[in-house]
Amino acid sequence: MSWSREEALTDPAIANPMKLLSEFRFSLRDIPTEIVVRLFKPVHSGKIVIQRSHDIAVDGAGAAAAESFDEDCSEGEALREAVNHLVNVYSAARAKGLKPDASWLKPNPDFR
């Protein structure tokens, strides 16, 4: 019998199976900390799930509003959403004359 990948993950003992679509690694200028963004697709859904290794918070820069995320979007749109919030807060802090610092990045405790 030939099994598809989706069929192989239908046993009731398996919860939340996801397929890794892509992984990206980068850092923000003048902050050496590596940031990892992973895009997953739940096996039994067409939606995209984003996992990001870090978030950003800068005292005195104000918080940029996170854009709404359409889980039915393309990989490119999902990646842009994952990166855009980081870049917006970083750029707002730089515009206020703040010097980039590794403390701006907050590790995501749920990222594995």
CA distances from 39 to 20, 34, 51, 61 (A): 6, 17, 6, 28
Q: Is the pLDDT of residue 32 over 80?
A: yes
Burial track 43-81 (b if 16+ CB lie within 10 A, e otherwise): beeeebeebbbbbbebeebeebeeeeeeeeeeeeebbeb
In the chain, where does DSSP find H-type helix?
5-8, 75-95
Q: What is the pLDDT of residue 69?
A: 62
CA distances from 34 to 15, 53, 78, 106, 111 (A): 30, 9, 19, 12, 13
Under the banding of pLDDT at 50, 70 and 90, the label for residue 97 is very high
Q: What is the pLDDT of residue 68?
A: 54
First to last CA, the chain: 34
Q: What is the pLDDT of residue 67?
A: 52
Which residues, listed in sequence order, are joined to residue 39 by a DSSP beta bridge?
A: 22, 50
Q: What is the pLDDT of residue 5?
A: 76
Q: What is the model's pTM?
A: 0.83
